[in-house]
Structure 1
Amino acid sequence: MNKKNIRILLEKVKNGKIDINKATSTLKDLPYKDLGYARVDNHRSIRNGFPEVIYCEDKSLDEIEGIINEMLKHDNNILATRAKRKVYDRIKTIAPETIYHQRSKIIFIKTHPIQETESKVLVVSGGTSDIAVAEEAVVTARALGSQVDTLYDVGVAGLHRLLDSLEKLDEAEVIIVVAGMEGALASVVGGLVDKPVIAVPTSVGYGANFEGLSALLTMINSCASGIGVVNIDNGFGAAHLASTIILQIEKART
């Protein structure tokens, strides 16, 4: 249940269209619902602006289905990350409107229209090998309502590719930079713009890349100001942070 639904419920109580007992019954699972194996946080969208997101790795199909069934009762759009194809095949049987984004491994169930923001997130990738993580950021940000554009394969080995697209950097309010290898792209972008840059190191790279650790350390130690860094391969976390920033920008516009 989100703020809009609570307001509608309270208006119905106020106008006598629903009695207090029925309203209390509707709200009884609002803080969270204890399923035994999971406590579904039905209150999160009210606190944080966005509903809880399901992380599917190491959860059984029955557990994921149970969580989704509970969330469907509360009229929130549902996002499930790191979901394998078999998870989608299972969830499709209970929610036919389910969409699977295979490259990003994200399941999305759209229960109501998404109002797209005026402000824009730009997702930039160093190389084509980074696109899976970049797409996790793209799909997440769009599901959370952010307007999203992309700029892929503009890594520092061919810097002219980035410099030829400076107008895209200028158009965005928040930029997510996804890069593996040595992760230098985030510093380059950070030195070119006057807006928040969220850096995502990826595990893409050869042996001494240490599965993304070298890119992570480069981004943390960036000499460019205004760069925040999330964990390795965490496109979801970057998109959630970017969408939170966008939400504040949109509030300031009104």
Structure 2
Amino acid sequence: MTLMTEILQQVATGQLSPSLAEKQLEATRTAALGFANVDLDRPRRNGFPEVIYGAGKTATQIVGIVQALSQQSLPILTTRLSEKKFEALKPALPTAIYYATARCMTVGEQMVSRSKDYIAVVTAGTSDLPVAEEAAITAETFGNRVERVYDVGVAGIHRLFAKLEIIRGAHVVIVIAGMEGALASVVGGLVDKPVIAVPTSVGYGTNFQGVTALLTMLNSCASGITVVNIDNGFGAAYSASMINQLKSSVK
């Protein structure tokens, strides 16, 4: 039973006045930890709980935030978490699961899927896997089925065509590519579903750590492509999850 349910039951039985209940509910919406002011109300507002960005936070701080969030909502996702930092916090969070390639940690079971449709995560090359797995783990944590289609870049485009049926069957497609970032345009011209393009910092000098791929994707002539920031697999998956789980208003 959640704290909110307890408060509402106390109001129903006359043990708590509505005004006092309102104050207590207000207090449950954030958790002030000194180093962080944790948003506990995000699942109600946005559908998904707050996600912890692990880079720049200490292991102790991450543990504190996870413990605060776990009082209100599960699962809890932490992104950009190094393996060394995970080993330091693991004793305090024994049920945590670490995904090394994705550099992500989850606490609590994945959300129950609200959609039978799936998200396809497509990469140009194997070097894009860290960003792709961040996207895939994020999407799965938030209750989506994910189909991974990896290493199908334009340098060997026949590999893409061999997987085209899987990609076309998705409700949303996330395309992840470095170098010149051409794969997003190719996929965008072949599917009738939303495409979320993620440029990666993979590439030689004139890739400019992902800027070249970003500009290519932003200038794509293929319709239906939305572009997120460089290496932002999380952001792509969050948006894809929202699209995948939209309920139709048409009856």
Q: CA RMSD in A?
A: 2.3
How do 1:15-54 and structure 2 match up within 5 A? 15-16=12-13, 19-20=16-17, 27-54=25-52
The 3-state SS of whatever aligns with 1:138 is: helix
Q: Return 183-192 or 59-68, whichever deviates more.
A: 59-68
Aligned residues of 1:91 and 1:98 also touching (Cα < 8 A) = no
Give the secondary structure class of the aligned counterpart of 2:180: coil
Is 1:147 equivalent to 2:145 in the alignment?
yes
Distance 2:87 2:23 in 1: 33
The amino acid across from 1:33 in the alignment is A
Q: What secondary structure sits across from 2:81 in the alignment?
A: coil
1:221 aligns to what? 219
What TM-score results when the alignment is normalised by the length of structure 2?
Answer: 0.91
Which segment is superposed worse, 15-24 or 69-78?
15-24
- 2:11–2:17 CA contact under 8 A, matched in 1: no
How many angstroms apart in 2 are the aligned matches of 1:10 and 1:253?
36
Distance 1:205 1:174 in 2: 26
Deviation at 1:180, TM superposition (A): 0.3
Which residues of 2 match residues 1-254 of structure 1 at below 5 A? 5=2, 8-9=5-6, 12-13=9-10, 15-16=12-13, 19-20=16-17, 27-110=25-108, 112=109, 114-116=111-113, 117-248=115-246, 250=247
Secondary structure of the structure 2 residue equivalent to 1:172 = coil
| Whole-angstrom distance in 2 between the partners of 1:245 and 1:229 | 15
28-37 or 215-224, which moves further after superposition?
A: 28-37
Q: Deviations over 1:105-136 (max 9, x none)?
A: 001001x5521231210000000111111000
Q: What amino acid sits opposite 2:161 in the alignment?
A: L
Q: Identity percentage over the alignment?
A: 48
- 1:92 aligned counterpart, secondary structure: helix
Distance 2:96 2:23 in 1: 28
Amino acid at match of 2:73: D
> TM-score when scaled to structure 1?
0.90
Contact 1:104 1:132 in 2 (8 A): yes
Unaligned runs of 5+ in 2: none
Number of equivalences? 249
> Structure 1: how far apart are the matches of 2:97 and 2:249?
33
